[in-house]
Amino acid sequence: MNSRSRVLPWLAGLGLSLMSSAAWAHLDLEYPAMRGGNQKTGPCEGVPFNADVPVTTLMPGSKLSIEITETIGHPGHFRVMFDADVTDGEDFPDPTYCDDVGIPDGQTLLADKLLPAQGFTCPGFHTPSERIPQSGTAHTFEVTLPDIECENCAIQVIQVMTDEGKADANGNWVDAGGRGLYFRCANVRLSYDAPADPNPTPDPDPDPNPDPDPNPNPDPGPDSSGAVGGACAAGGGSGSGLTFLVLLATVALVTRRRRAAV
């Protein structure tokens, strides 16, 4: 077998691998850090809480800006859920239908029907006037965290897809096997010791060219003797004595010349 015949199968396998990876990438959780497993596997990508994923510490009862990327756009919407105890697994029930939307309770269901988009199997739920999904779009969801402390907590973000490609042969929406849902989860910890703002905005840089002193040479004020401008006063006294000596010398010279003339 020549080198070309050995390389071609390897390249083909690499291409299939890359295509498979790209097919998985429909929803990425940017913040908090996601577990990063198979997003087609519920409830949390097939990755347990104690996976090698950072735990984001947050303030109980605070507002959290969840950042996602819709890497491949689909009609549908998003939902955010919270579990305060994932010791025995995550208690995140799947929606039973594409328009199965709950009312947020601030404890388990934090938000639902986020960014609804036009769909095909739920025409009464997703209308053409709603958003058009676009691949590679970043979204931010603001939710309020439960006002409790917990060590082993999890946040779940799911993408509910309603297009024909995620329906069965009869056109009915199917949630099983990742055909109608994509899952992302993040490990979190709620503690009152957490900073109120995990990403504070730094103070602006100081002015590198501050305004100059408007009076760089102020009046020194009175000297130790209490006189203003003492050095100038002393100079004036010395000048008067010198003038008197010059006058005496001039008078003496004139007198001497008069005596010589006589």
E strand intervals along the chain: 28-31, 56-58, 63-70, 76-83, 109-114, 137-144, 150-161, 181-190
Q: Which amino acid is at 205?
A: D
Q: Is residue 126 part of a domain?
A: yes
Q: Is residue 250 part of a domain?
A: no
Q: Is residue 217 part of a domain?
A: no
Q: Is residue 19 part of a domain?
A: no
Place of tokens 């100038």: 232
Encode pLDDT of 212-223 as tens digits: 555 555 554 544
% of the chain at pLDDT higher than 90: 30
Q: Is residue 22 part of a domain?
A: no
Q: Is residue 189 part of a domain?
A: no
- Which residue did the predictor score with more confidence, 256 or 79? 79
User: 38 to each of 28, 73, 125, how far by Cα in Å?
Assistant: 11, 18, 28
Q: Is residue 112 part of a domain?
A: yes
Distance of CA 70 to the CA centre of its chain: 18
Domain region containing 49: 41-175
**Assessment of whether the complete model's pTM goes beyond 0.75:** no
Q: Is residue 235 part of a domain?
A: no
Count of domains for the chain: 1
Encode pLDDT of 6-30 as tens digits: 434 333 333 333 333 333 447 899 9
Peptide linkage before 32 cis (omega within 30 of 0): yes
